[in-house]
Structure formats: C-alpha cells, structure tokens
Amino acid sequence: MSRRRGTARRGWGPRILGGLVAAFILIQLVPYGRAHTNPPVMASPQWADATTEALFVRACADCHSNRTVWPWYSNVAPVSWLVQRHVDEGRSKFNIHVPGFGRDADEAAQQVRSGKMPESTYPPLHPTARLNSAERAQLAQGLAATFGDDE
C-alpha cells in the first residue's frame, strides 16, 4: 500500500513540470510585449551639459525616450510584458523625444532625487543604471536645468 502512494507521488512531479513547460510555451504566443517599436524622434532636448545627457542615457533613456534598447529577455513572456508595460508607462509620463514632454521635468527630477527612478527592477539587469547619491543629485539638477523654464 505504501508503495502505491510513492508511485502516485512520483507521477505528479513530471505532470506538474510538463504542465508548467506547456504553459510557458503557450504564453509565448501572446503578442503583447514583442512589438519593440521605437517611434520616430520628434524632438531632442538641448541638454544643460554633457553629464546630464550621459546620466539620462545610462539610467533613464530605455523607458523615457524613443531610443529604447530592447534586451534579449524582452522577447520572452512574461518578462516581455513587464518590459513593454514599463516602457509604455515611462514614455507616457516623460519622453524626451516628444515635444512638450519636458513639462514634467520637476516631477522627474523629484523622482530621481527620492530614489524612485530608475525603478528598482531596472538596475539589477542594467548595472550601469545604478546611480550614487551624487549622480542622482546631478541628474535631477540637470533635468531641471534642461527642461525647466523654457517649456
């Protein structure tokens, strides 16, 4: 009798694993997150200085510009869904390549200062996006100087 229980238990493991593999394969058929479009650049900021531009490109541009660099894992669901959502949200809130989107520079600078940007999920996969406190302050100040009063 105990032998039957052991056999039954071993039978579930491969079934569960097979089900998970099948589910993973099926979710790859969902098209969301694979378009990887970079709309045309309609405007480019006149950066206050080269350091601000470099810090922005390093830590912000993948979600807040029309020049997103799409990593390999952005092709694999469900990660592709998260990446696409982050880019869509980022572009809708602050996009340096769309005229008028600099109007939210004060809020963007505050997000950088407070450590809310870049989002906590971004730097682990993009180590160069990690900003120390001095770089955060410099980027926030540069964003305010770049987009501040002229819009």
How many C-alpha atoms does 136 have within 13 Å on its Cβ side?
Answer: 13
Confidence of residue 111 (pLDDT cuts 50, 70, 90): very high
Vertex 52 angle, CA 71 and 49, to 5°: 135
Lowest mean pLDDT, pick from 22-26, 88-92, 101-105, 123-127: 101-105
What is the spatial distance between Cα 105 and Cα 90, in angstroms, rounded to a whole number? 13
Residues in Cβ contact with 16 at an 8 Å cutoff, skipping those fewer than 6 apart? none
pLDDT tens, position by position, 43-83 = 999 999 999 999 999 999 999 999 999 999 999 999 999 99
> What predicted TM-score, i.e. pTM, was given to this entire model?
0.81
Query: What is the pLDDT averaged over residues 113-124?
Result: 92
